[in-house]
């Protein structure tokens, strides 16, 4: 076991506490998981402690590098039968027939390993709960909304010095916090709030802006889930802000869009009809996709299709759809496939 605290290769036989005093959370002998792997996922999700992230993003980082074989149980259950069949084939047709049988077996195992599946989300939630109980709440992990009251000494002219060029509505408070705490609102000149009015003090501000500037663009960004789609439909049917529904531009995802995202495919959500929260995408991907979607005024899924098809083009600010640099691109690996 490698200690996440001091980097020492600690022997399991020496106990579950490293010589530096670090107490291991997971026992790799019984759980097939070491603390270092979980700590590495935390570092990736938080960009080494510099970025806020959600539990879904942490799961996404952990799961794509922690896959389990889909064929293990079948191989174990069928091995005795195959040995028996091999013995019978040997008696009747000789060694060549046995070789052919086991060649097919090895091919089947190889195909099954290629189809390995990520750790289930329910299992990961249990691991995260154990980590939090042992090590405390990870820094910058967003689990509950924290922007429901104005910051201390909040002043309107300071809060909006960046200027508001659009209103961006999302379907979950956690996504509001994710985008705002990471500074997307200032980068895009966007007033970010939820469709049901979180945080309230920003809802009041949005109503005032729309009264003053009736043509201010309003965008929706939602999950590819029944809850996210229902929230968007409710807003279109009865907007909670003084805006005409036909003026609202939907940038969000739908289950049919999941096939365009390589990261979602890595998580077993690539057939095009699964439920997928927006924040299963890494934050750099989500930030850049939102930036280009706002500039072009088209849904994120359209950008994904163009990226996957290799179609050139730019957003309204000249941003390309092919930028893969982690400082401003989709992700460290392409998320579209």
Please report the pLDDT score of residue 322 as a whole number.
39
3-12, 61-70, 98-107, 161-170: segment of lowest average pLDDT? 98-107
DSSP 175-208: HHHHHHHTTHHHHHTEEEEETT-SSHHHHHHHHH
Q: Residue 295: pLDDT above 60?
A: yes
Q: Residue 80: pLDDT above 80?
A: no
Asked whether the beta carbons of 185 and 294 are under 8 A apart, the reply is no
82-86, 162-166, 168-172, 310-314: segment of lowest average pLDDT? 310-314
DSSP 16-49: SB-TTSPBPSS-HHHHS--HHHHHHHHHHHTTTT
On average, the pLDDT of the chain sits at 81
Q: Is 291 helix (H, G, I), strand (E, B) or coil?
A: helix
Strand order across the 248-250 sheet: 190-194, 166-170, 218-221, 248-250
Residue 216: closest CA among 174, 143, 166: 166
- In the numeric block, which tokens belong to residue 48? 């080494």
| Torsion angle in degrees (nearest 10) through CA of 273, 275, 278, 283 | -90
Give pLDDT tens digits for 143-174.
999 888 876 655 555 445 567 999 999 999 99
Q: Residue 108: pLDDT above 60?
A: no
* pTM of the predicted protein model: 0.79
Q: How far apart are CA 207 and CA 215, in angstroms?
A: 13
Q: Residue 130: pLDDT above 70?
A: yes
Please report the pLDDT score of residue 67 as a whole number.
55
Q: Residue 312: pLDDT above 80?
A: no
Give pLDDT tens digits for 183-229.
999 999 999 999 999 999 899 889 999 999 999 999 999 999 999 99
DSSP 58-107: HHHHHHTT-EE-SSHHHHHHHHHHHHHHHHHHHHHH-HHHHHHHHHHHHH
User: Average pLDDT, stretch 5-19?
Assistant: 91
Q: How confident is the model at residue 38 (pLDDT cuts 50, 70, 90)?
A: very high
Give pLDDT tens digits for 218-253.
999 999 999 999 999 999 999 999 999 999 999 999
Name the helix (H) or strand (E) containing 134.
helix 121-135
- In the numeric block, which tokens belong to residue 293? 């979607």
Asked whether the beta carbons of 112 and 104 are under 8 A apart, the reply is no
Q: How confident is the model at residue 268 (pLDDT cuts 50, 70, 90)?
A: confident
If one compares 49 and 94, the residue with the highest pLDDT of the two is 49
Task: Work out the percent of the chain whose per-residue pLDDT is above 90.
Answer: 55
Residue 164: burial class (beta carbons within 10 Å; 0-12, 13-18, 19+): middle
């Amino acid at each position: 076991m490698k200690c996440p605290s001091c980097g020492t290769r600690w022997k399991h036989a020496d106990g579950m506490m490293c010589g530096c005093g670090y107490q291991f959370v997971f026992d790799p002998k019984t759980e097939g998981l070491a603390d270092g792997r979980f700590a590495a996922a935390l570092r990736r999700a938080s960009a080494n402690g510099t970025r806020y992230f959600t539990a879904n993003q942490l799961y996404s980082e952990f799961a794509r590098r922690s896959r389990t074989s889909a064929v293990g149980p079948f191989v174990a259950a069928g091995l005795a039968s195959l040995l028996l069949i091999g013995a019978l084939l040997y008696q009747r047709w000789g060694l060549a027939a046995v070789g052919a049988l086991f060649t097919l077996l090895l091919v089947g195992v190889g195909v099954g390993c290629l189809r390995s599946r990520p750790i289930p989300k329910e299992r990961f939630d249990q691991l995260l709960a154990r980590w939090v109980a042992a090590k405390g709440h990870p820094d910058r992990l967003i689990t509950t909304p924290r922007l429901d009251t104005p910051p201390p000494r909040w002043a309107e002219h300071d809060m909006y010095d960046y200027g508001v060029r659009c209103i961006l509505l999302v379907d979950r408070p956690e996504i509001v916090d994710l985008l705002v705490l990471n500074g997307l609102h200032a980068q895009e000149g966007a007033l970010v709030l939820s469709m049901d009015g979180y945080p309230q003090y920003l809802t009041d501000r949005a109503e005032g802006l729309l009264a003053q500037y009736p043509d201010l663009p309003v965008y929706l960004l939602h999950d590819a889930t029944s809850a996210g789609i229902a929230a968007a439909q409710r807003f279109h049917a009865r907007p909670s802000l003084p805006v005409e529904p036909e003026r609202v531009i939907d940038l969000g995802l739908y289950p049919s869009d999941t096939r365009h995202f390589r990261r979602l495919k890595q998580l077993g959500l690539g057939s095009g009809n699964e439920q997928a929260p927006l924040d299963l995408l890494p934050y750099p991907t989500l930030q850049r996709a939102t930036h280009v979607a706002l500039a072009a005024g088209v849904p994120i899924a359209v950008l994904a299709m163009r990226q996957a098809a290799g179609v050139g083009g730019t957003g309204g600010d000249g941003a390309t759809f092919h930028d893969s640099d982690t400082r401003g691109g989709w992700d460290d690996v392409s998320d579209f496939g």
